[in-house]
Amino acid sequence: MIDYTKILHYKYAGSYWTLNGDDYEGLTWFSDTPKPSKATLDKLWDEVKDLMAAETKAKALAKSDLLAKLGITEDEAKLLLS
């Protein structure tokens, strides 16, 4: 299922809009720029999924690197934060 909220967040940052429900038909566009078509947003979905995956991977690597620098495990870090 295409997540229009994610597409708009990643590809139209700074634009003003609301989405009522999960479908394109619920998109209300408030920005001065033209409202993207459903076809345009649908084409962007694979790119946005890749961006989200890369972001998740980068966060995991940063977490792993930090734990390694601190010389502690994830469980030990959780104990420190509890």
pTM of the entire predicted model:
0.78
Nearest partner of 19 among 34, 31, 29, 33, judged by Cα: 29
Mean pLDDT, 10 residues at a time, the chain of 82 residues: 96 96 96 97 98 97 95 92 88
Cα 43 to Cα 24: distance, rounded to the nearest angstrom: 13
The predicted pLDDT at position 75 comes to 93
The predicted pLDDT at position 21 comes to 94
The predicted pLDDT at position 11 comes to 97
